[in-house]
């Protein structure tokens, strides 16, 4: 069988280029997916060498190495760089990058962009009373409860400690308020094992044209502070500061 018969359809153009480069340059390499019996692919790194010195009808021999493990390591490293290990939510760095990306996208094609910051009420009391293991379980369950209310296009990140950031594109302030309330209620009505009831406060804001990320986050943080100061277990809307 030729190499073209062994690779996935998506890799045919790269395989053809590899064959051509090997014959004309004498040696080449390529990463392709070799077909398994079920139609899926296994990533291989292939080196090829022209062996007869002729560019017309030249023969090529090659060696292939299964690089599935390397690909898995690369995926794991990317996950470590963008994900909070405790909760599985995105981390602060990834969220900050995505907020800036959405702001730049807004400048090209203005569509509503809203963000919420969530803080678990009296979380220190949970840790002090029930222990840090119980606190960790609460963090994970809060993430799961929030995710159940989100769309696939929404983004959830652990911002720090017991604070979480939620970004929702194509969502105006009213839509974000509805979403934030759903999350707040889901948390308040959930029974946390060994802990009981837990509540959360949220501050929300919609991006304004020309606003810097720092200003947007400051408005959200101020709204969250107001929610905590006003009694907790509520959603507060950020005012606009030009």
Helix (H) or strand (E) holding 102: helix 92-108
Helix (H) or strand (E) holding 165: strand 163-169
pLDDT score, position 241: 62
Query: pTM for this structure?
Result: 0.74
pLDDT score, position 4: 87
| CATH code, domain with 58 | 3.30.450.20
Residue 212 domain-assigned (yes or no): yes
Which residue, 73, 97, 120, sits at the end of a domain?
Answer: 73
Give pLDDT tens digits along the chain (242 positions): 888 899 988 999 999 999 889 888 889 999 999 998 888 889 999 999 988 755 555 677 889 999 999 888 888 888 778 999 999 999 999 999 999 999 999 999 999 999 999 999 999 999 999 999 999 999 999 999 999 999 999 999 999 999 999 999 999 999 999 999 999 999 999 999 889 999 999 999 999 998 999 999 999 999 999 999 999 999 999 987 65
What lies within 8 Å, CB to CB, of 36 at 6+ separation is 42
Catalytic residue, candidates 31, 74, 162, 214: 162
Asked whether residue 16 falls in the same domain as residue 89, the answer is: no
Asked whether residue 68 falls in the same domain as residue 149, the answer is: no
DSSP 131: -
For 202-240, give the DSSP string. EEEEE--TT--HHHHHHHHHHHHHHHHHTTSSSEEEPPP
Residue 166 domain-assigned (yes or no): yes
pLDDT score, position 219: 96
Print the domain residue range for 37.
Answer: 3-73
Asked whether residue 205 falls in the same domain as residue 117, the answer is: yes
**31 in catalytic set:** no
Looking at the structure of the chain, the number of domains it has is: 2
Residue 242 domain-assigned (yes or no): no
Asked whether residue 121 falls in the same domain as residue 67, the answer is: no
Asked whether residue 225 falls in the same domain as residue 160, the answer is: yes
Which residue, 21, 44, 73, sits at the end of a domain?
Answer: 73
Residues 4, 7, 12: CA angle, nearest 5 degrees: 60
Asked whether residue 188 falls in the same domain as residue 140, the answer is: yes
């Amino acid at each position: 069988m030729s190499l073209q018969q062994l690779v996935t359809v998506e890799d045919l153009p790269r395989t053809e280029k590899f064959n051509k480069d090997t014959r004309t340059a004498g040696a080449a390499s390529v990463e392709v997916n070799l077909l398994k019996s079920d139609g899926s692919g296994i990533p291989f790194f292939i080196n090829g060498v022209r062996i007869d010195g002729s560019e017309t009808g030249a023969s090529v021999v090659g060696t292939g190495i299964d690089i599935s493990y390397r690909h898995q390591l690369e995926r794991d490293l990317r996950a470590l760089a963008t994900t909070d290990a405790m909760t599985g939510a995105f981390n602060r760095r990834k969220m900050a990058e995505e907020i800036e990306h959405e702001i730049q996208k807004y400048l090209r094609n203005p569509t509503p962009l809203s963000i919420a910051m969530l803080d678990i009420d009296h979380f220190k009391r949970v840790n002090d009373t029930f222990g840090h293991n119980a606190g960790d379980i609460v963090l994970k369950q809060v993430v799961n409860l929030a995710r159940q209310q989100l769309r696939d296009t929404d983004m959830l990140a652990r911002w720090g400690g017991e604070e979480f950031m939620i970004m929702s594109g194509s969502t105006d302030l009213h839509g974000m308020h509805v979403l934030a309330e759903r999350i707040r209620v889901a948390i308040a009505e959930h029974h946390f094992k060994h802990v009981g009831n837990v509540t959360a406060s949220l501050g929300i804001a919609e991006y304004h044209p020309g606003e810097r990320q720092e200003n947007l986050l400051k408005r959200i943080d101020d709204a969250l502070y107001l929610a905590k100061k006003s009694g907790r277990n509520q959603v507060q809307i950020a005012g606009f500061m030009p």
